Amino acid sequence: MKAVIITVNTLQRDENGQEESIELTTKGTYEKQGDVQILCYDESSLTGLTGTRTTLQLFPHSLVLMRDGKITQQQEFLPGTSQKSLYETPFGNVTLTMYTHELTHTLTNGEGEIALRYDVALEGVHANYNELIIRSREDGTN
């Protein structure tokens, strides 16, 4: 396991064209298991997911996002497909459907970038378009 610094840039655009962006920089970990690259980090109040750990499993042609803690979710992103997941919160659960437009990456040995572009539907109703850029670099403080 390798210590890394992870920067997550999120852009959300609703059907009216209103945009909101968030950037989170945090310490995390990187490991590789076979052909799967794994990034883990703790969410913060900035993302509204305090108390939640996010794990990203990057496969050769897909990405699986797993959240555990106050929020629980397991979501697969496979370009050109719609995938459903259950988003579990202390206030109730909601079914999300993600249509993945694009997934690219340059991640190698814990350094590089993952770019993900997708639409989100809540309970079958389109909610917004998202762009997620995740950058990882070695944590030189250890």
**What is the mean predicted confidence (pLDDT) over 18-28?**
94
> Do residues 29 and 40 make contact, with C-beta atoms less than 8 angstroms apart?
yes
0.85 exceeded by the pTM? Answer: yes
Q: Is pLDDT above 90 for 126?
A: no
Q: Is pLDDT above 80 for 46?
A: no
**What is the mean predicted confidence (pLDDT) over 107-115?**
96
Domain 2-138 = CATH 2.60.40.1180: no
> Do residues 140 and 117 make contact, with C-beta atoms less than 8 angstroms apart?
no
**What is the mean predicted confidence (pLDDT) over 50-60?**
91
